[in-house]
């Protein structure tokens, strides 16, 4: 702290810069759906990083690490405040992870400035901000990878309702949108310190700032051209879809999406086994009632979908082993109900199986029933870290035990990207968190899925913000692969998303409800560049950032040695 204070002419400087860091965190969080504005203020994302970049310019690398920690904690505490509704530890873990991530990122941003600094007073404009921009995009991509992969907070997702812009996701994935949205922050902030160094008179500061911006106009011209081309492409893509609809060159499928607005895990917390059974039976009664109402409506649905883990008793396990007679009676009631239905039911459930050693293995699954017969299953492939999956039990046994006691629901990973068959179409069933990852929906599309049917439980968050943030990512899976999505959720957002990423129908959140979704299936299926090549742009940014930083470090070392000599 004393080292930090030495960099200030007075202590007020510290609090001014702290205010800038907090301001940037507020702009970041406010650009996404939030507690005050349900759909967020997406225009803020185009300038959200200017304050933190201005602060980074003032300090040495070590102090920038400190500011990265502060920004990471502040940004994700404001953005993902609802994590505490699941368990206090969930928020602490995520906020701490991003404090570490942003500490490293801020360090790299500062190093990029040091490595590629040019003396603006000598007539050259430093473009270190371009390197910083690439580093930031690489960070966004890498933050979604591996065990800790967490797609919440990717800048491009703020634009989920800006349909003309998000069409480029079909070419670049979310990374192209993020690149366009983040560039203004880095360009505008990158010129500011050069203006401060060269401006002899503070009264001419704005004039000098504009002069240097114009001098460095080429990157902005390229960005503006890319943005214009993206919007033109977006309008063409949207109009093309509308033309196909107008021509009648499509077929439809009708799916009832049930939203019973009862968090199933609350039922599992009942103090006694008898009370839990009664809670399960009550939930089943609501699910049946809503399904019957949907099936009685016109036009009649061709399939009914229940959300993630909507039915808690393990269907296969209790029907096979019947060691718990009370749970078996609830499962039997469900199976009898399903046997009387003439349309398929897709149900979220714990698909428990026995391994070779006689132990029960649980999978978070989507199970398809036809005439009461279980015909196909998808088991969740990408599990939520810490709360659904922790692969380091042997390395951290005490931490694993603590997680088990902290109301977590550990599952095993599935091993197959199941493609189901419906009435004239094929579909995949990404479960909850899975529709926030582009690679999964891409793989489903490549295997033949015509529709994504997402089963979600966000009820535990007790937050419209959480549900809207989840929806904001789901729309990109449609835009990336040009496939419609329907979402059956426990408390919201149950909806229909067309292939352009537009939400065309939505059930009221936090209500016992159902949505009879009519899905338009184009006769000619479009294969997008993203579907073919995946996250190539994210990989490019990552490789570019690594190579440039290595080159910059070597170049900086050589320059320093020449100066010493």
HEC readout, 202-255: HHHHHHHHHHHHHHCHHHHHHHHHHHHHHHHHHHHHHHHHHHHHHHCCEEEEEE
Q: For residues 53 and 102, is the Cβ–Cβ distance under 8 A?
A: no
Q: So which residues are the catalytic ones? A: 308, 380, 432
187-218: b (≥16 Cβ within 10 Å) or e: bbbbbbbbbbebbeeeeeeeebbeebbeebee
Angle at 418 between CA 412 and CA 420, to 5 degrees: 135
Instruction: Name the CA radius of gyration of the chain, rounded.
Output: 26
Q: Structure tokens of 538? A: 């994210």
Q: Which residues pair with 373 in a beta bridge?
A: 370
Q: For residues 499 and 167, is the Cβ–Cβ distance under 8 A?
A: no
pLDDT, position 53: 95
The single residue listed with the structure tokens 């069409």 is 167
Q: Which of 453, 439, 452, 450 is nearest to 531 (CA)?
A: 439
Q: For residues 140 and 175, is the Cβ–Cβ distance under 8 A?
A: yes
According to DSSP, residue 300 is labeled P
The single residue listed with the structure tokens 């997402």 is 454
539 exposure class (CB count in 10 Å sphere: 0-12, 13-18, 19+): middle
Q: For residues 474 and 468, is the Cβ–Cβ distance under 8 A?
A: no
Q: For residues 411 and 387, is the Cβ–Cβ distance under 8 A?
A: no
Beta strands in 296-337 (DSSP E): 303-305
Q: Which CATH class is domain 249-533?
A: alpha beta
- From CA 375, how far away is CA 373, in angstroms rounded? 6
Determine how many CB atoms are found less than 10 A away from the CB of residue 71: 27
Q: For residues 460 and 502, is the Cβ–Cβ distance under 8 A?
A: no
Q: For residues 149 and 135, is the Cβ–Cβ distance under 8 A?
A: no
Query: What are the domain boundaries of the chain?
Result: 2-244+535-564, 249-533
The single residue listed with the structure tokens 């002899």 is 200
The single residue listed with the structure tokens 């995520």 is 94
- From CA 270, how far away is CA 265, in angstroms rounded? 9
pLDDT, position 358: 83
Q: Which residues pair with 486 in a beta bridge?
A: 453, 496
Residue 317's SS3 state is helix
CA dihedral 418, 422, 424, 426 (to 10 degrees): -20
Q: For residues 531 and 443, is the Cβ–Cβ distance under 8 A?
A: no
- From CA 223, how far away is CA 179, in angstroms rounded? 9
According to DSSP, residue 510 is labeled T
Each of the 565 residues of the chain gets a pLDDT tens digit; together they read: 555 555 555 567 889 999 999 999 999 999 999 999 999 999 999 999 999 999 998 899 999 999 999 999 999 999 999 988 776 677 888 999 999 999 999 999 999 999 987 644 444 456 889 999 999 999 999 999 998 999 999 999 999 999 999 999 999 999 999 999 999 999 988 876 655 555 445 555 566 656 666 777 888 899 999 999 999 999 999 999 999 999 988 899 999 999 999 987 777 777 788 888 999 999 999 999 999 999 999 999 999 999 999 999 999 999 999 888 999 999 999 999 999 999 999 999 999 999 888 889 999 999 999 988 999 999 999 988 887 888 787 787 777 777 777 666 788 999 999 999 988 899 999 999 999 999 999 999 999 999 999 999 999 899 999 999 999 999 999 999 999 999 999 998 999 999 999 999 999 999 999 999 999 998 878 899 999 999 999 999 999 999 999 999 998 888 777 666 5
First to last CA, the chain: 35
Q: For residues 174 and 438, is the Cβ–Cβ distance under 8 A?
A: yes
């Amino acid at each position: 702290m004393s080292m930090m204070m030495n960099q200030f002419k007075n202590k007020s400087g510290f609090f001014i810069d702290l205010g800038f860091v907090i301001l940037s965190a507020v702009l970041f969080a406010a650009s996404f759906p939030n507690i005050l504005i349900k759909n967020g203020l997406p225009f803020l994302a185009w300038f959200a990083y200017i304050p933190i970049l201005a602060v980074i310019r003032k300090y040495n690398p070590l102090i920038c690490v400190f500011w990265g920690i502060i920004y990471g904690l502040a940004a994700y505490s404001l953005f993902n405040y609802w994590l505490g509704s699941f368990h206090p530890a969930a928020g602490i873990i995520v906020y701490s992870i991003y404090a570490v991530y942003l500490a490293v990122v801020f360090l790299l941003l500062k190093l990029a400035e040091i490595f590629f600094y040019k003396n603006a007073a000598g007539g050259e404009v430093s473009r270190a901000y371009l390197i910083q921009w690439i580093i930031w995009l690489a960070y966004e991509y890498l933050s979604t990878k591996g065990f800790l992969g967490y797609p919440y907070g990717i800048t491009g997702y703020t634009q989920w309702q800006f349909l003309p812009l998000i069409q480029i996701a079909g070419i670049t994935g979310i990374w192209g949108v993020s690149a366009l949205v983040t560039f203004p922050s880095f360009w505008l902030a990158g010129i500011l310190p050069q203006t401060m160094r060269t401006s002899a008179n503070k009264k001419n500061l704005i004039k000098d700032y504009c002069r240097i911006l114009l001098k460095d106009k080429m990157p902005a011209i390229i960005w503006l051209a890319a943005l214009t081309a993206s919007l033109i492409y977006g309008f063409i893509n949207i109009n093309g879809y509308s033309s196909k609809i107008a021509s009648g060159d499509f077929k439809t499928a009708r799916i009832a999406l049930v939203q019973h607005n009862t968090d199933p895990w609350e039922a599992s917390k009942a103090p006694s086994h008898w009370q839990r059974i009664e809670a399960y039976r009550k939930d089943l009664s609501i699910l049946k009632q809503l399904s019957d109402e949907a099936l009685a409506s016109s036009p009649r649905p061709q399939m009914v979908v229940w959300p993630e883990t909507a039915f808690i008793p393990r269907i296969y396990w209790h029907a096979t082993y019947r060691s718990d007679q009370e749970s078996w009676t609830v499962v039997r009631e469900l199976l009898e109900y399903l046997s009387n239905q003439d349309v398929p039911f897709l149900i979220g459930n714990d698909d428990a199986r026995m391994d070779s050693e006689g132990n029960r293995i649980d999978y978070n699954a989507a199970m398809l029933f036809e005439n009461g017969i279980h015909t196909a299953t998808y088991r969740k492939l990408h599990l939520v870290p810490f709360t659904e999956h922790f692969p380091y039990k042997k390395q951290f046994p005490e931490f694993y035990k603590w997680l088990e006691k902290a109301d977590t629901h550990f599952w095993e990973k599935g091993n197959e990207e199941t493609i189901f068959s419906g009435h004239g179409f094929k579909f995949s069933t990404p479960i909850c968190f899975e529709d926030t990852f582009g690679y999964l929906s891409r793989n489903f599309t490549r295997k033949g899925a015509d529709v994504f049917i997402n089963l979600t439980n966000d009820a535990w968050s007790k937050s419209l913000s959480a549900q809207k943030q989840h929806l904001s990512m789901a729309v990109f899976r449609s835009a990336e692969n040009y496939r419609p999505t329907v979402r059956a959720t426990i408390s919201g957002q149950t909806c229909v998303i067309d292939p352009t990423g537009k939400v065309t129908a939505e059930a009221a959140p936090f209500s016992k409800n159902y949505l009879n979704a009519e899905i338009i299936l184009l006769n000619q299926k479009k294969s997008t560049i993203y579907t073919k090549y995946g996250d190539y742009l994210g990989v490019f940014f990552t490789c570019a950032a690594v190579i440039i930083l290595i080159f910059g470090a070597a170049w900086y070392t050589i320059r320093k040695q020449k100066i010493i000599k």
